[in-house]
Structure formats: structure tokens, C-alpha cells
Amino acid sequence: MNLMVKVYSYLIQIAFLLLSPCLTIAQDRILINSDFPGGNIEVLSIDHDTIRLKTDNSFTDGEWFYWYFSVSNITGQRITFEFEQENVYARYGPGYSLNNNQTWKWYGENRIKDNAFTFSFSDKDSIAYFSIAFPYVEKNLLSFLSTLKNHENLKVDTLCISPEGRAIHKLNIKTENGDPEYKILITARHHACEMMASYVLEGIITSILTDRNCTQLLENAEFMFVPFVDMDGVMNGEQGKNRIPRDHNRDYIDESIHHSTAALRNTVPEWSENKLRIVIDLHCPWIHSGINETIYVVGNSDPVIEKQQIIFSNLLEKNTTGDLKLYHKDFIPFGTSWNTADNYTKGRSFAKWAGTQKGVRLACTIEFPYANVSGIPVTRDGAREFGKAVAYSMVEYLNLSKEE
Ligand SMILES: [Zn+2]
């Protein structure tokens, strides 16, 4: 063989070696993907039909539990998904969605064994999505807003631009005469991973706009909603909670380090015109056990605000007529459970900052569980139904305030 032929043959061999693994992957290897909005996973190994996984805790101080991935090349296969760390499932196992990511269900309480679950895919299944719960990213919000296009007093605006160049949405609902008696501010996703809070927010907005029992709100109150305070975190699938050096819900002290929190601190005092009366921040607690499986209001360190929270918490109990009930007994006064000064050493929370704003009577954080409310599985509609209770309670709260 002359030198040229040798070199040519060698190059062909290298090309074959380089291409052959790719061909195998493309044909039949199970593919795990998290490269889509909200996606989060680290693949540790794929060994035949067993996949070892870990949550991606980038930018997070310690470990947190949020994960969301797709798996393809699954047709007719039985696959085991095994997490390296503990505490990555809520009460009813993983949320899952087959062949699209529109409809989500719980896989089931008894399907987890040694941090793993096994799923048998049918001959019709080509892709599946799994997550800690039922993901909610920008496309979910846009799809929700598209159902409200006919409501002219709902305006979609931008609070500010995120560090990665995304518009951080700000929604306004104005009164018809343009001269509101009150203003109300509601936020969600200060912690990016807390997706179930977004369905509650949908329920609140829908009730304000469409429920006859909330007409009073439309007539007298102007609203501002910020659905994704940590927009980049939501879209990148980051935990958000315990973000380094401090997360969005500890960023209301000194100079804010996050764009959206700084923008809220700038925008709200001017927008308020001293009419801001109610501020609600929607969260999800830890994933399971005890208080984390109840809906509850977090007591404010200011006793004057806390007194109003107790009134509101009782109204929420009265108005939660759906399956997912809030009981006022689960209210966590400041200084009890996790709600102590020690929990706020990294900075001031949004609700605490909001409580100091001129005219604000009620500032509160509501914690809404990922999966289980006192033994009842959380569904997306159940979360929206709870949102209705929040809207009804605002109506009653404002009426009570008038009487004082
Ligand atoms: Zn939170």
C-alpha cells in the first residue's frame, strides 16, 4: 500500500469509528433531554433500561428538588428512573405527560421504591415528560392569556427586561372608570421552581375578570400581577430557591441585585398612588410532610400586618369551597415553625417589604403545596379553584375594611 492509500484507509476507519456511536444513539438509545423551557436534569448514567439522575442545582446553595425532563426512543420499553438524592418526589410520585406536555397526571404514591420509579411505555408512546409536579412556563401563561383576549381592561405589559433579555411580564387590570379606590398587587415565582402557584394565579385572574361575585373588584380595584418574578430562572429550569448569593425573595433589602425585584421596588410606590391595600405573593412550600401538605398564610413580623393576615386567612378558610381547602389553624404566626428571624438572615422578603409600603393593610405570602393538600391530590383545576377563593376573600376583605 502506498502512503496515500494508507492515509486514506486510516481516515475512513476514523470516520467510521466517530460516526458509529452517533448512529446507535439515533436509532435506539434512550434519550433524556432537558433543553427546553423549564427543563432541569443531570444524567449520571444510562445502563440499558436504567437511568440514573440528579437534579441540577446550579446557582443554588445546597440541594433542592425541582426537575423536569423528557425521554424519547421509549416505544414499548420498560424503563427505570433512579435519582441519586433523597427528597425529589412529592406525595403522589412524579408528574408525567405522555407524547406531549399538555396534560399532566400524578404517577402514584406507591410507585416509588428506593428513590426510583419504573414506567412501562406502550407501543404508541414516543416521548414522555416527567417532573416533580406540573410544569408552568411562559408558554402556559401566554396560552392562558390568549383565552382572555376579549377582556379589554386586561393589559399585558413589561415590568422590565431580565438579565438574559427576556420581557418580565406585568399584567394590569384597570377599573372601567380609570379611577380605582384600591390597588392590589399579586406576584408569583419569586422562587422559580414553585410552579403550582402559577395555576392559583390563573384562578385569581379568571375570577376577577369573569366571576359575577367579583364584579366589585373590577369596579373598585386596579390590579398589577407579576407572574414570573424570576423569569430567567423559570425558563432555564433553575431551582430559584436559595439562589446564590440571595434569592429573589430575600432581595428586598439594601440595593436589590435582581432586575425584577429592583423594578418592583421602583415601580410599585409610584403606581400605588397611596391606594395599594392588598399585596399577595404566591409560593409553594417544601415538597412533603406536615405543614408542607397544607395551604397556609405566612405570618408577617409586623403585628399590625399579621392581624390583617389572620382576618384574611379566616376568609380564605370560609371561601375555599373546592376540594383543596385552607384551614386557618395552619396559619404560621411569625416566630413559629420555620417562620422566624433566622430564616431571613439573607435578606428581606417581598411580603415584608410590601407590608412597609404606604397604605398597605394586608401583605401576605400564601404557600400552596406541590401535590398534596391534607390528603387530596393537587390538580391544575383544583389550584385554579383555590385562586377563586383568594379572589372572593379579597372582595370580602375590602368590604370589611370599609366598615372599620
Ligand atoms: Zn417560595
Q: Tens of pLDDT along 170-218?
A: 999 999 888 999 999 999 999 999 999 999 999 999 999 999 999 999 9
CB 269 within 8 Å of CB 88:
no
Answer yes or no: do 32 and 152 share one domain: no
* Beta-sheet pairing, 276-283 with 362-367: parallel
Residue 12 has pLDDT above 60, yes or no: no
Q: How many domains does the chain have?
A: 2
Ligand 1 centre to CA of 240 (Å) is: 9
* 55-72 pLDDT, tens digit each: 999 999 999 999 999 999
Asked whether residue 11 is domain-assigned, the answer is no
Please, which residues have CB less than 5 A from ligand 1, an ion?
A: 191, 194, 283
Q: How far apart, in whole angstroms, are the C-alpha atoms of residue 283 and residue 280?
A: 10
Ligand 1 centre to CA of 128 (Å) is: 28
Ligand 1 centre to CA of 53 (Å) is: 24
Ligand 1 centre to CA of 282 (Å) is: 8
Q: In the prediction, which pLDDT does 101 show?
A: 78
If pLDDT is split at 50, 70 and 90, which confidence band does 10 have? low
94: domain CATH number? 2.60.40.3120
* 286-301 pLDDT, tens digit each: 999 999 999 999 999 9
What is the mean pLDDT of the segment spanning 219-237? 98
Residue where the block lists cell 438574559: 164
Ligand 1 centre to CA of 191 (Å) is: 5
Of 77, 306, 350, the residue nearest 190 (C-alpha): 350
Residue 393 has pLDDT above 80, yes or no: yes
CB 166 within 8 Å of CB 236:
no
Residue 23 has pLDDT above 90, yes or no: no
The CA–CA distances, whole Å, from 384 to 53, 155, 226, 309 equal 32, 21, 17, 21
Ligand 1 centre to CA of 159 (Å) is: 20
Q: How far apart, in whole angstroms, are the C-alpha atoms of residue 68 and residue 121?
A: 18
Note down the domain range covering 166: 138-403
Residue 321 has pLDDT above 60, yes or no: yes
* 333-350 pLDDT, tens digit each: 999 999 999 999 999 999
Q: In the prediction, which pLDDT does 404 show?
A: 73
If pLDDT is split at 50, 70 and 90, which confidence band does 11 have? low
* Beta-sheet pairing, 167-173 with 221-226: antiparallel
8-state DSSP, 111: G
Asked whether residue 66 is domain-assigned, the answer is yes
Name the phi and psi angles at 45, rounded to 5: -165, 155
The residue among 109, 131, 153 that closes a domain is 131
If pLDDT is split at 50, 70 and 90, which confidence band does 13 have? low
Print burial letters for 160-172: b (CB count within 10 Å at least 16), e (below 16): bebeeebebbbbe
The residue among 131, 163, 189 that closes a domain is 131
- Strand, helix or coil for residue 116: strand
Ligand 1 centre to CA of 268 (Å) is: 21
Q: How far apart, in whole angstroms, are the C-alpha atoms of residue 364 and residue 352?
A: 8
The mean pLDDT of the chain is 93
Residue 24 has pLDDT above 50, yes or no: no
Answer yes or no: do 111 and 207 share one domain: no
Q: In the prediction, which pLDDT does 325 show?
A: 97
If pLDDT is split at 50, 70 and 90, which confidence band does 17 have? very low
Ligand 1 centre to CA of 119 (Å) is: 30
Answer yes or no: do 52 and 94 share one domain: yes
Residue 234 has pLDDT above 50, yes or no: yes
What is the mean pLDDT of the segment spanning 152-180? 95
Ligand 1 centre to CA of 153 (Å) is: 29
Q: In the prediction, which pLDDT does 100 show?
A: 84
Residue where the block lists cell 428581606: 348
Ligand 1 centre to CA of 370 (Å) is: 11
What is the mean pLDDT of the segment spanning 389-401? 96
Return the C-alpha cell found at 395. 372582595
Ligand 1 centre to CA of 366 (Å) is: 9
Q: In the prediction, which pLDDT does 176 show?
A: 82
- Region of residue 62 (left: phi > 0; alpha: psi -120 to 50; beta: else): left
Q: How far apart, in whole angstroms, are the C-alpha atoms of residue 228 and residue 283?
A: 11
Name the phi and psi angles at 127, rounded to 5: -145, 145
Asked whether residue 8 is domain-assigned, the answer is no
248: domain CATH number? 3.40.630.10
Ligand 1 centre to CA of 247 (Å) is: 10
Residue 106 has pLDDT above 70, yes or no: yes
Locate the DSSP E strands across 227-294.
Answer: 276-283
Residue 251 has pLDDT above 80, yes or no: yes
Residue 351 has pLDDT above 80, yes or no: yes
Ligand 1 centre to CA of 292 (Å) is: 12
Of 17-21, 300-304, 379-383, where does mean pLDDT reach its minimum? 17-21
Asked whether residue 230 is domain-assigned, the answer is yes
Of 43, 34, 46, the residue nearest 77 (C-alpha): 46
CB 87 within 8 Å of CB 358:
no
Residue 236 vs residue 101, higher pLDDT: 236
Q: How far apart, in whole angstroms, are the C-alpha atoms of residue 256 and residue 88?
A: 31
357 has which bridge partners?
A: none
Asked whether residue 14 is domain-assigned, the answer is no
Ligand 1 centre to CA of 285 (Å) is: 6
Ligand 1 centre to CA of 297 (Å) is: 12
Ligand 1 centre to CA of 246 (Å) is: 13
8-state DSSP, 250: G
Residue 87 has pLDDT above 90, yes or no: yes
